[in-house]
Amino acid sequence: MNFFKYKAGTFNHGIHPPEMKDDTKGLPIRQFPFSPMIVLPLAQHIGAPSEPVVKEGDVVARGQLVAKANGYMSVPLHAPVSGKVKKIDYVPSISGKKNMGIYIESFPSSSQEVIEGHAIDLANASPGEILSGIQQAGIVGLGGAAFPTHVKLSIPEGKTCKYLIINGVECEPYLTTDHRVMLEQHEDIFMGLRYLIKALNPQKVYIGIEDNKRDAFEKLEQYKPLDLAVEMVLLPVKYPQGAEKMLVTAITGLEVPSGKLPIEVGAVVINVATTAEIGRLLPHGRGIQERVITITGPGIAKKGNYLITIGTPLRFILEQVSGENIKEVFMGGPMMGVSVSNLDIPITKGTSGIVAFKPQQSLENQSEYACIRCGACLDACPLSLNPSQLGILAKNEAYDLMASDHHLLDCFECGSCSYVCPSNIPLVQYFRVSKSIVRKRQAKAKS
């Protein structure tokens, strides 16, 4: 019998929404069919959009570079399928904004074999070559943030990486992507970890996993190579523990200051699926062309964890999994995900889940009432913000005051406050809009 010791620390506040993972957590990862048309947005990561290096009519092989990184804060795109470039044109996006993208008609009879590039030799590569290899592979945070991983791994002058934390928490309800990756791709995870350790030279390495994925914890513990000094940490289940700052506190006991990144306290946090992707791609010099996505929710008949080609349109996916009578679809889960208004948008590198609800379960059905000052949102907020006050200011369009006096920009949109609000006030939606307005104003003031 195994006994596990919980790490003593945790972060303040947080919530316990129903996990809703039982439908898919036991389902192995399966290859999803290739869509006849792939829609590849050039802006699918944080930073400058990629720059096309192909033109209409070009024939491309799966894994071939189709758009190069446009500067340091950017990553390239690789052809997710073998096919023909149909056009370079506007593509729909989840934000409603139309961005440019590459449409590729896939060849139905192709073997879809992936071409290889310049392999990064773990034994001889320098830290800089590893970071360059990660950028060339087009790797971004697969947990949903889509932040270029090579940038995250570049330690600023004067700082050092003391703690490398691999994030296997996956606290978002419904999603089981990382859970299945940990169960099925342990070799890739440990290979990725070797690259990360060589790039960062951390003093301590942790893999943090919540107690509702104990089988994954046991699997990684069992297969952990003897020469890798990695501490496995089993954490009690609490949302939003998968958020970087919360995880740093839960594991190291350190608090990341307001407005700062985890490196401020010497920590770098990398998602476990991103780690696996590094270990899978770098030894072969390949670019990322697919990712694991959980497709679930009451509106889906064929729920599962699927390996899906990036750029596959959502409409095609829902047809294959018998998504019917759907009222609302979330990309990325119901807490931190975004409700989709256009089924023609494609999945991108940052898409970790698709959750579909039928009309009677849709969150859109809830009426909003006045704040009763119950304080539940204050007790829920992991950053000890005052969501009630922020909500009132948002309604009064006092955006600058929200940022200057109430730490609006610290809010990472976990949705805990909205979840507990008995008045159904969509606080997180208010904060999303408010943050976007403040950021636009700040950018305008700088220019």
CB closer to ligand SF4 out of 161 and 428: 428
CB closer to ligand SF4 out of 101 and 415: 415
CB closer to ligand SF4 out of 65 and 421: 421
- Residues 200 and 155: beta-carbon distance below 8 Å: yes
CB closer to ligand SF4 out of 59 and 372: 372
Residue 267 is a binding residue for ligand SF4 (CB under 6 A): no
CA angle 83, 78, 276 (to 5 degrees): 125
Residue 125 is a binding residue for ligand SF4 (CB under 6 A): no
Residue 307 is a binding residue for ligand SF4 (CB under 6 A): no
Tokens of 129: 């070559």
Residue 383 is a binding residue for ligand SF4 (CB under 6 A): yes
Burial 232-254 (b: 16+ CB within 10 A, else e): bbbbeebbbbbbbbbbbbbbbeb
CA angle 10, 279, 349 (to 5 degrees): 75
Residue 388 is a binding residue for ligand SF4 (CB under 6 A): yes
| Cα atoms found within 13 Å of the Cα of residue 278, Cβ hemisphere only | 32
Burial 403-426 (b: 16+ CB within 10 A, else e): beebbbbbbbbbbbbbbbbebebb
- Secondary structure of 346-395 as H, E, C letters: ECCCCCCEEEEECHHHCHHHCCCCCCCCCCHHHHHCCCCCCHHHHHHHHH
Size of the site for ligand SF4 (CB under 6 A): 29
Strands 65-68 and 51-52, sheet pairing: antiparallel
- Which of 33, 59, 375, 405 is in the footprint of ligand SF4 by CB under 6 A? 375
**d(Cα 268, Cα 202) in Å, to the nearest integer?**
9
CA angle 252, 265, 277 (to 5 degrees): 75
Residue 145 is a binding residue for ligand SF4 (CB under 6 A): no
Tokens of 124: 């001889």
Q: How far is the CB of 172 from ligand SF4 (least distance, A)?
A: 13
- Residues 149 and 166: beta-carbon distance below 8 Å: no
CB closer to ligand SF4 out of 285 and 426: 426
- Which of 65, 235, 381, 402 is in the footprint of ligand SF4 by CB under 6 A? 381
- Which of 309, 431, 434, 435 is in the footprint of ligand SF4 by CB under 6 A? 431
Residue 171 is a binding residue for ligand SF4 (CB under 6 A): no
Encoded one letter per residue, x for contact with ligand SF4 by CB under 6 A and - for no contact, window 399-418 reads: ------------xxxxxxx-
3-state secondary structure of 169: coil
Residue 359 is a binding residue for ligand SF4 (CB under 6 A): no
CB closer to ligand SF4 out of 145 and 151: 145
Residue 380 is a binding residue for ligand SF4 (CB under 6 A): yes
- Which of 137, 143, 387, 393 is in the footprint of ligand SF4 by CB under 6 A? 387
Residue 36 is a binding residue for ligand SF4 (CB under 6 A): no
Q: Which stretch binds ligand SF4 (CB under 6 A): 45-53, 170-178, 342-350, 426-434?
A: 426-434
Burial 91-121 (b: 16+ CB within 10 A, else e): bbbbeeeeebbbbbebbeeeebebbebeebe
Inter-axis angle of helices 272-281 and 186-200, nearest 10: 90
CB closer to ligand SF4 out of 206 and 412: 412
Q: How many residues does the chain have?
A: 447
Residue 421 is a binding residue for ligand SF4 (CB under 6 A): yes
- Which of 385, 393, 394, 403 is in the footprint of ligand SF4 by CB under 6 A? 385
- Which of 372, 395, 396, 442 is in the footprint of ligand SF4 by CB under 6 A? 372
Q: How far is the CB of 413 from ligand SF4 (least distance, A)?
A: 5
Contacts with ligand SF4 by CB under 6 A lie at: 371-377, 380-381, 383, 385, 387-388, 391, 411-417, 420-423, 425, 427-428, 431
